[in-house]
Amino acid sequence: MKTIGVKLFAAMIVLLSVFSVVQPADANAERVYVAPVKKEVERGLASFLERSIEEAEENDAEALILDINTPGGAVNAAEEIGEIMLDSQVDLIAYINPNALSAGSYIALYADEIYMSPSGKMGASAVITSAGGDADRKAQSAWLAAMINAAESSDKERDPIFAEAMVDQSIEIPGLVDEGELLTFTPATAEENGYSEGTFESLDELIASLGYEDAEIVSVEPTFTENLARFVTNPIVVPILLSMASLGLVLELYSPGFGIAGSLGLGALLLFFFGHLIAGLAGMEVLILFLIGVGLVIAEFFVPGGILGIAGLVAIVVSILLAGESIAFMGIALSVALLAAVIGMVIMVKFLGKNLHLLKKIILSDSTNTESGYVSNINRHELIGQTGITRTALRPSGTIIIENERIDAVSEGSYINKDQKVLVVKVEGSRIVVREVD
């Protein structure tokens, strides 16, 4: 038994020695990262691409392939992505599959190499306002310079005139684009003019042609929080969220306790700030300012005066304005939200008001009026026309006696001595007015 034990111990030592020397077979394998650039270009996409580049650099990737299919998006987000790509230490390869339009073309130009799918398109990069019209000359000029810088950033010596023609429709390039139109490259024209290094049917085909067929392909996908941040910071979603928040909180003011409307409104606001925090558009100072505003509004219920409530509302509005990409855009979104809240309230009161059993479920409609049997005091209208004797002098108020009942009364204005006969001429709530009788 001792011999067997010694042999087992020796075998374990040998195995441990082997495992300590032999490394995993794929430890030195090439890695190629692939990151999708899909949907609209916004600040959430910039955060995702920044993480993708950092992961590729940390794991010594041979290249990071950007699988691009975007109609464009926010100019400031695209410019931020361009700066991130410019500082990258890993080779960046753009695969346009199939669209890199507007801000998407700007992102593609910052890649070290550009490839396209057979149906690929790149260009049509003029700046469009949120209303759908052309931006002013100042914004167009700045974006034109940005596109030129992007074209010149690559070692491929891309002619910037084509980047200019994507933005400026006054530029004419014979045989390629006429005056009055924006340049949009097809795979063939892009390759002919040095804006593409080749056309491939699929991403796998591109990877094989680059010599990475044996490399480990690592797909970088947005996390749930990154997808949520991209959704929440979408320029279309922002006004909707703020409208839900304002409408829900306004409804809650008319509801007893704290119910569904208030929960939805508060949830929409929290989602708004969470998405903008994750996307990097807002910092903790903005969230703290918002919480301070909420605290001041709550304090207004316990400290009368109105100053705390006004200060709280100002703090909330300022925090929302500072949370977005630009104060101007957030101002428009906030105005839309307030307008939607007002319209929503009018519609609900107008249509649901005809069905009180529905309205009462969300709005407190009970009132303590006289018609419902509620009174703030007893109206002694039956005393009008009766006579009594002043128990005290009326200067002009005092006490009178009517049928052995002491009643507080007031004269019409003149002084009336004690023990004088008076006539009740008017009753105004608890105010009983009398006149001296000769």
Per-residue pLDDT tens over the stretch 162-188: 999 999 999 999 989 999 999 999 999
- Residue reference for tokens 């599959």: 97
Token output for 357: 């059993």
The answer, yes or no, to whether residue 66 has pLDDT greater than 90, is: yes
Give this prediction's pTM: 0.64
pLDDT of residue 370: 56
Give the C-alpha separation, 134 to 235, whole Å.
Answer: 17
Q: Is the pLDDT of residue 343 over 90?
A: no
Q: Which residue has the tokens 């073309």?
A: 105
HEC-encoded secondary structure of 83-120: HHHHCCCCEEEEEEEEEEECHHHHHHHCCCEEEECCCC
The residue among 301 and 406 whose pLDDT is bigger is 406
The pLDDT value recorded for residue 340 is: 80
Section 354-374 average pLDDT: 52
Decide: residue 173, CB within 10 A, 0-12 exposed, 13-18 middle, 19+ buried. middle
Residue 106 has pLDDT above 50, yes or no: yes
Phi, psi of 127 (to 5 degrees): -80, 130
- Predicted confidence (pLDDT) at residue 32 exceeds the cutoff of 80: yes
Would you give the distance in Å from CA 292 to the centre of its chain?
Answer: 19
Distance of CA 272 to the CA centre of its chain: 4
Classified as helix, coil or strand, 141 is: helix
DSSP three-state, residue 64? strand
Q: Give the residue, 62 or 271, on which the prediction is more confident.
A: 62
Fill in the DSSP letter of residue 173. Answer: B
Tens digit of each residue's pLDDT (9 = 90 or more) over 390-413: 999 988 889 999 888 899 999 987
Q: What is the pLDDT of residue 120?
A: 96
Q: How confident is the model at residue 30 (pLDDT cuts 50, 70, 90)?
A: confident
Residue-level pLDDT at 19:
40
Angle CA 250–251–252, to nearest 5: 90
In residues, how long is the chain?
A: 438
CB 248 within 8 A of CB 285: no
Place of tokens 């974006």: 143
Amino acid at 66: L
What is the pLDDT, as a whole number, of residue 346?
Answer: 76
DSSP-derived pairing of the beta strands 31-38 and 63-70: parallel
Sign of CA dihedral 370, 372, 373, 376: negative
Tell me which of 74-88, 110-124, 303-317, 421-435 is least confident.
303-317
